[in-house]
Structure 1
Amino acid sequence: MTDKGKSPKIDTSVDIKSFSKTRDLTGWVRHLFMTVAVVGALFHLYILNINPIDPWVFRSTHLVFGAVLGFLIYPGWRTRSSKIHVVDWILVVVTIYVGFYIFVNLDQLLFRFGVSPTRMDFYVALAGLLIVLELTRRTSGWMLPLLALLFVLYVFVGPYLPGILHHSGYSVERFVTYIYGLDGVFGVTLDVSSKYIILFIIFGAFLQMSRVGQYFIDVAFAVAGGLRGGPAKVAVVSSGLMGMMNGTSAGNVVATGSLTIPLMKKVGYPPRFAGATEATASAGGQLLPPIMGAGAFLMAEIIGIQYTEVIIAAIIPAILYFISVYFMVDLEAIKQGMKGLSRQELPQLKDMLKSAYLFLPVVLLIYLLANGFSVILAGSLGIVACLVVSLFHPKTRMGLKRILHAFELGMKDSVQLIAVCACAGIIVGVIALTGVGLRFSSMLLSIADHNLLIALLFAMVISILLGMGMPTTAAYAVAASVVAPGLIRMGVEPLFAHMFVFYYAVISAITPPVALAAYAASGIAGTDPMKTSIQAFKLGLAAFIIPFMFFYSPQLLLEGGESVGGILFAAITATIGVYLLACAVQAWFFGKKASWYSRLLLLAASIMLMMADVTSDFIALGFVLIVILIQTVTARTEAVSRVTGQEKKVKM
């Protein structure tokens, strides 16, 4: 017992070491890893802000740093030993040589690669491709490398395939050097990785090492921890905030779920629901501006529009997603009669307010981005701001050691995304080389017969299938190359088309049967992975509907010069819609359990309210009134039955 019978305060700090699959380096290898990581982080900041160099050299060096660090810390097979195998050292040496070869022969390679490569060019490019595939396998599993190899196989079997899959074919030398060039591995995906993703991962590392990120979690606990089912609501808020800076949904689950999932179980949430809530919130963080898990940068680069256009369009849909998840956990808390954590267990809000200056790095970042400053400048100044605000208090103060550890953590956390962006470049390169993307667009047009709804349904299914088992960035890159062009050819605005496929690439992380975020959460919650993914699918159901709203309620994307009144009306009706959706999923409405037919009516009403159409809104209102009438009649019938039953007992 604590003094005066008070409950001890919960420890809101997050420790993810126990969930890591990386080596625990020691001795001189540990110092080598840290040195390479710090030099790599400083190299990127220097090139991005002070001294730009040739894009191919910069991206190849970016990949070299990621691969060297990856082979040092990610084992090639399951083993309890943290000793680095001789194979890993060989891969490190080959990685450095490939990068050095590009740097030394750059002027010639610009004309030779993909056109008339020498024998040595071919060997170097082949080694580079194998390094990318192996690094991706180690960091992200087999799914993405196998998909890349399937596309590679298509290059060589395409001449023997019929119909839209047929192409004239390419020699091995030309293909390998083309793919390991600026149109493949070092194309748009690795460009975004080297310029934006790594910058914001380093920013996230500084947030963590300066305890600014921890402050977000503490504030979430102080505000929402005492509400009914408080830890679940904390998970929704904190996982969303941290997830927008983390390029992988599963990684965010591990980072924040190690704290929130046990606390959700503590207040009464079933373990499966706790894991699903964390997975759904963590995946949703990738949809939340201003960073969107690096997806916004990639989208802006592919479409060729201003970054601010992407984040402005994403604001209302992301808010609707999190409101939906919030309603889901709140209704579950009501059904289960849950309470929140006691105030004695939570951080004090007044103490949090004293440290409100810790929000300054994020406020500065948003201000700079909203006012048209470059993304690189905003991210770099955000890093500096983290360092500055940390100096105001001894607990947060970053000395030289913590600064170096922040650089190291940033590079370490970047390895997986560097790998998947490079591997996604292989797929994007094959699509560009063979023209299969345009052929697929034609197929989509012919199947849909110019019916937009049918085309969107096909695009949804394909985007989810392509994204299963892959990190979000890679999933979106592939879907954007295969699916989005077909929608654009049907007359859909490029931003709408890319936002559509981006949403489904993100929620593939919680879509059975391969739901990486849900699987990661199930490991922490100690539940069945498949059942957890099904529960996460239910909680994130709004994300399957919201993308269709881009076309039927374009006001929600703040596009097209809509009036403020029209945007507010669409947002309010959509919010009511996501609430009714939560009621339908949770089978709870009007203070009572809802029957299956009431749930169907609520589901139909929710979808109609999400469309910016007055007629559909009135129809939805009619459905809701019918459900209220059903609930009222049912409640009275049950009350009469109870009274009658009690009277019979008295007579007996």
Structure 2
Amino acid sequence: MQWNAVPDSIRQEIEDTRAVPLIYVLGIIISLAHVYFNIFADIAVLQQNILHFAGFILLCGLLKPLSLQRHLAILDKLWVLAIAFSAIYLLFAEDLIYERGVRLVPLDWLCGSLVILGAIDMTRRATGWVIPILIVTAISYLAWWGNFVPGVFQFKGLSLETLLFRSIYGDDAIFGNIARISASFVFMFILFGAFLLRSGAGDFVIHLSKSIASRLVGGPGIVAIIASGLTGTISGSAVANTASTGVVTIPLMKNAGFSPRFAAAVEASASTGGQIVPPIMGAGAFVMASYTQIPYSTIVMVSILPAILYFASLVFYVRTESYKAGLTRTMEQAPPLLPMVMREGLSFIVPVTLLIVLLVMGYTPTYAAVIAIIAVIVSSWFTPNKMGLAAIADAFALGSRNMVVTAVLLCSVGLVVNVIATAGIGNTFSLMITEWSGGSLLVALLLVAVASLVLGMGLPVTASYIVLATLSAPALLQLMANVELVNALSSGALSADVQAILMLVGVSPEQGAMSVAEAQALINDMPDEMMALLRPMLLDENQLSMLLLAAHLVIFWLSQDSNVTPPVCLCTFTAAAIAKSPPMATGFTSWKIAKGLYIIPILFAYTPLAQGDWLAAFQVFIFALPGLYAFTLVMQGWQKRQLKHWERAALAVIALVLLSPIAMAWQIAALVSLLAAVFYIGRGGKRASEWRLS
């Protein structure tokens, strides 16, 4: 069997899976069943979701046993089987429950309770204690203690029978919409990633990155950025991305002279960015498509320019650190680009390109993923790592194994989302954000950022996004729509219907166009009923849809920050372990390097960067790119020499103008100023190495 192009970490994972034949065979069966469900079968969504849950409960129980002692292990396996068979029973019991007028018999109670307890237990095994505690807290809120909460969050409670029924069969429950996304889009893309990894795409990504970046200043760091970004299109997991590419890129950066702390921080920041790189943007992107009802292909397309901005900001940090540390030499012995691509790259480039083309053409993500998987197999025969039946079986088993944590998490978090939807907590929380922000979109963004950081300390990124989107997306959408309404009102081009509504609130057409301040004051004071009438008159349906997407992208990006922001930052801690650097110090460095995760969401909120207008988005991109460079110089205090205080202050003003939604004339002036400043600094100062010699 061809192993040469398969990364060591993937090879070890496959060998571990093969070592337990039951896990290997079950993984293959689960993968084949999901391909059948998604492409060929015509079965009810509930059936697919329950079988998805039952299969991964079995696999999770085998991969993460409660005990290795013989007697306890037998009891544990019986417990896992009881959970899976209880789920299957609930599949056949649904019609009978409706025939009884939604009344549960003792066997319904037993199986429903076992499924919920099993989901809590498996989630604890897969992710730790935080999500199980959150599930128990949420369910008990509906059943009991919500009645004792004062104020707007008080909930009178549900009967235990109603609570159990809604937790199982509700649209947002354990077998609801999020489980459907997990069983279809997410699994198929994870499986596609497994085929890419088994075909040797991991090593190709590293070689491609070296060929591209070998002659650039800070080449080893740029290799890490490119490799982690490309690997992110395969793995769909930031921590897995860090572990798989970090073992290669971190030693590469350390050998080039970067400090272990900086090397680990670059790898963690780049791996986190892998979750925002199209076409595979982690499970959260599929949830976003379901929540917003916007095609996944649209989400992918509008995410291209923001992803480039984020990775460009990382490159800027690496280059300035290279100058700061005097590391201006390039890498050596980089493989020639074209021969390497022709020899190794077909099984990566052809399937990924085909996947993107199919998504743009409007094919469903599941269909596109299956065609791309077939393309991986076919194209591998034109590379040294040909995929035969054994390799295909490995990929099927690896795909199921890689999906275990995500599947258990997404199904179980449905229990929390069900509580939020049932109790109306989402609407209440959104109203509170609107009230606390005082109508300020910037303050609302800060509140969401703080909430995402707090949630991210205990929840995985996808769960953090799901909870935060459910709670705060409506508030962000309203505030972002208000910004567009202010722009429309201050333009002066108002229809007769709009003028009639404005007359009801004391604004006469004879007053002429309003100033921005007057329009903002009018929006803040206008009753909600009037706003509901005015909004569709000034903003068309497509504009509101893209504003909704932008609001969700804000939350999606901010949800990534917990990977690189102390005190709990799993990506950074993983990278620090590889680099042997202090975890917390590395965390603060990665937090600084990954500042694009905070800046770019502000662009989503205030500019057309993610609103579907490519010309307007490219205009934002053109000025945001140098703006991020100027911001990096301010943060680092270095270009080709150490910057003086007044130079950093001037660059801060330039960065603010380039990143702000103001008149283009001001941004052009700021861009010219930045070019002049870089030329002045480059000609007028010494490099770091010259400082050391003097």
Q: State the distance in 2 between where 1:85 and 1:337 align.
A: 57
Match of 1:533 among 573, 587, 594: 587
What is the match of residue 572 of structure 2? 518
Is 1:548 matched with 2:602? yes
Match of 2:137 among 147, 150, 157: 150
Q: State the distance in 2 between where 1:202 and 1:494 align.
A: 29
SS across alignment from 1:593: coil
What is the match of residue 233 of structure 1? 222
Q: State the distance in 2 between where 1:218 and 1:112 align.
A: 63
Q: State the distance in 1 between where 2:382 and 2:453 align.
A: 46
SS across alignment from 2:158: coil
Q: State the distance in 1 between where 2:134 and 2:15 align.
A: 27
Amino acid at match of 2:106: R
Shift of 1:214: 2.8
Match of 2:153 among 154, 161, 165: 165
Contact 2:37-2:43 at 8 Å conserved across structures: yes
In the superposition, the TM-score normalised over structure 2's length comes to: 0.83
Shift of 1:412: 0.1
Is 1:224 matched with 2:213? yes
Q: Mind listing any 5+ residue stretches in structure 2 that lack a counterpart? A: 482-546
Count of aligned residue pairs for this structure pair: 616
What is the match of residue 649 of structure 1? none
Amino acid at match of 2:594: G
What is the match of residue 496 of structure 1? 550
What is the match of residue 659 of structure 2? 610
What is the match of residue 16 of structure 1? 9
SS across alignment from 1:70: helix
What is the match of residue 189 of structure 2? 200
Q: State the distance in 2 between where 1:45 and 1:502 align.
A: 28
Q: State the distance in 2 between where 1:82 and 1:389 align.
A: 46
Q: 1:122 and 1:100, CA in 2 relative to 1: closer, same or farther beyond 3 A?
A: same
Is 1:271 matched with 2:291? no
Contact 1:225-1:340 at 8 Å conserved across structures: no
Is 1:575 matched with 2:565? no
Contact 2:219-2:330 at 8 Å conserved across structures: yes
Amino acid at match of 2:593: L
Mapping of residues 405-484 of structure 1, within 5 Å:
405-484=394-473
Shift of 1:486: 1.9
Q: 1:131 and 1:595, CA in 2 relative to 1: closer, same or farther beyond 3 A?
A: farther
Q: State the distance in 1 between where 2:368 and 2:661 align.
A: 35
Percent of residue pairs identical: 32
Deviations 1:166-196 (CA, angstroms, capped at 9, x unpaired): 0111123322331223421122221111001
Q: 1:495 and 1:34, CA in 2 relative to 1: closer, same or farther beyond 3 A?
A: same
Amino acid at match of 2:610: L
Shift of 1:364: 0.5
What is the match of residue 273 of structure 2? 284
What is the match of residue 592 of structure 1? 641
Q: 1:50 and 1:350, CA in 2 relative to 1: closer, same or farther beyond 3 A?
A: same
Is 1:349 matched with 2:349? no
Match of 2:112 among 125, 144, 151: 125
Deviations 1:325-357 (CA, angstroms, capped at 9, x unpaired): 11111211222222566543x333242132343
Q: State the distance in 1 between where 2:580 and 2:97 align.
A: 52
Amino acid at match of 1:190: A
Deviations 1:618-639 (CA, angstroms, capped at 9, x unpaired): 6745985896799699959x9x
SS across alignment from 1:137: helix
Deviations 1:145-164 (CA, angstroms, capped at 9, x unpaired): 22333323332211111111
SS across alignment from 1:124: helix
Structure 1, 236-245 or 46-55: larger mean CA deviation: 236-245
Q: 1:625 and 1:374, CA in 2 relative to 1: closer, same or farther beyond 3 A?
A: closer
Q: 1:635 and 1:263, CA in 2 relative to 1: closer, same or farther beyond 3 A?
A: closer
Deviations 1:367-406 (CA, angstroms, capped at 9, x unpaired): 101111111110000000011011224x311111111110
RMSD: 2.9
Contact 2:10-2:198 at 8 Å conserved across structures: no
SS across alignment from 1:498: helix
Match of 1:314 among 300, 303, 312: 303
Q: State the distance in 2 between where 1:290 and 1:112 align.
A: 46
Contact 1:463-1:483 at 8 Å conserved across structures: no
Contact 1:23-1:82 at 8 Å conserved across structures: no
SS across alignment from 1:76: coil
Q: State the distance in 1 between where 2:363 and 2:682 align.
A: 56
Match of 1:334 among 315, 323, 330: 323
What is the match of residue 7 of structure 1? none
Q: 1:572 and 1:93, CA in 2 relative to 1: closer, same or farther beyond 3 A?
A: same
SS across alignment from 1:264: helix
Q: 1:24 and 1:209, CA in 2 relative to 1: closer, same or farther beyond 3 A?
A: closer
What is the match of residue 610 of structure 2? 557
Q: 1:575 and 1:490, CA in 2 relative to 1: closer, same or farther beyond 3 A?
A: closer
Contact 2:54-2:88 at 8 Å conserved across structures: no
Contact 1:14-1:259 at 8 Å conserved across structures: no
SS across alignment from 1:244: helix
Is 1:175 matched with 2:225? no
Q: State the distance in 2 between where 1:507 and 1:260 align.
A: 22
Shift of 1:84: 8.5
Q: 1:382 and 1:633, CA in 2 relative to 1: closer, same or farther beyond 3 A?
A: closer
Shift of 1:360: 0.6
Contact 1:239-1:256 at 8 Å conserved across structures: yes
Structure 1, 527-536 or 598-607: larger mean CA deviation: 598-607
SS across alignment from 2:156: coil
Q: Mind listing any 5+ residue stretches in structure 1 that lack a counterpart? A: 1-10, 647-652
Structure 1, 181-190 or 427-436: larger mean CA deviation: 181-190
SS across alignment from 1:300: helix
Contact 2:153-2:428 at 8 Å conserved across structures: yes
What is the match of residue 8 of structure 1? none
Contact 1:240-1:288 at 8 Å conserved across structures: yes
Contact 1:542-1:581 at 8 Å conserved across structures: no
Contact 1:135-1:419 at 8 Å conserved across structures: yes
